[in-house]
Amino acid sequence: MFLEKDTNSKSRTGWIEVVCGSMFSGKTEELIRRLNRARIARQRVQIFKPQIDTRYSESEVVSHDDHAMASIPLQNASQILFYSNEFDVIGIDEAQFFDDELPYVCDQLATAGLRVVVAGLDMDFQGHPFGPMPAMMAIAEYVTKVHAICMKCGNLAQYSHRTVAGEKLVMLGETESYEPLCRKCFTEANRKHR
């Protein structure tokens, strides 16, 4: 363990916030907004992302509306502990791509007195819980589910429907490969592909 527990627990309380939802729902935008507000409050902030996520930038977290923040790309969740000693607030983007150690790491950070803000897809393209996200939601003090707009009917969308062929769980892509759909449209789209 590389992070020391805060011995003055009355002055510093940590917690975990999870922002989840489908693709194009504003998860990263919300993560960046929360971290920017922490910076305005003169808190020391660091953001991490999985190395696999190189869609917009190798070294920045970038939202679909082009808001960006410098980040540290990592291969696995346990590496976060190496970089977290000097900070008050830790952000983690695309959390679904991290390994199953992420909940343990985030728990350690919060117990040490840090605020941890995690953003990620709660479901994969098949509509199943994605990676460590279910465990992250279970241990978080705060969970915010954000929604996109269904590309078929205009209702709130909570599913990331893959529009290109492929059964591989992790396939990086944007609007050329995925579209947000509501439950009804997602169910109909999946019936057509069976």
Q: Which amino acid is at 65?
A: D
Q: What is the rounded CA–CA span in Å between residue 112 and residue 115?
A: 9
In a domain, 181, yes or no: no
The residue range of the domain holding 137 is: 15-147
Q: What is the rounded CA–CA span in Å between residue 74 and residue 88?
A: 19
In a domain, 129, yes or no: yes
Residue range 119-147: mean pLDDT, rounded: 97
- Residue 183 confidence (pLDDT): 97
In a domain, 49, yes or no: yes
Q: What is the mean pLDDT of the chain?
A: 87
In a domain, 8, yes or no: no
- Residue 165 confidence (pLDDT): 76
- Residue 1 confidence (pLDDT): 46
Q: Catalytic residue numbers?
A: 94
In a domain, 26, yes or no: yes
Q: What is the DSSP letter of 6?
A: P
Render pLDDT for 15-74 as a digit per residue (tens, 0 to 9).
999 999 999 999 999 999 999 999 999 999 999 999 887 555 556 566 556 567 778 899
The total of structural domains in the chain comes to: 1
Note the helical H segments in the chain: 27-40, 102-111, 133-139, 183-192
Tokens for 19, please give them: 């922002």
Of residues 156 and 193, which shows the higher confidence score?
156
Q: Is the pLDDT of residue 150 over 50?
A: yes
Closest CA to 34 of 98, 100, 93: 93
Render pLDDT for 92-118 as a digit per residue (tens, 0 to 9).
999 999 999 999 999 999 999 999 999
In a domain, 168, yes or no: no
Q: What is the rounded CA–CA span in Å between residue 95 and residue 182?
A: 22
Share of the chain above pLDDT 70, in %: 81
Q: Is residue 156 left, alpha or beta, with left meaning phi > 0 and alpha meaning psi from -120 to 50?
A: beta
The CATH number assigned to the domain holding 56 equals 3.40.50.300
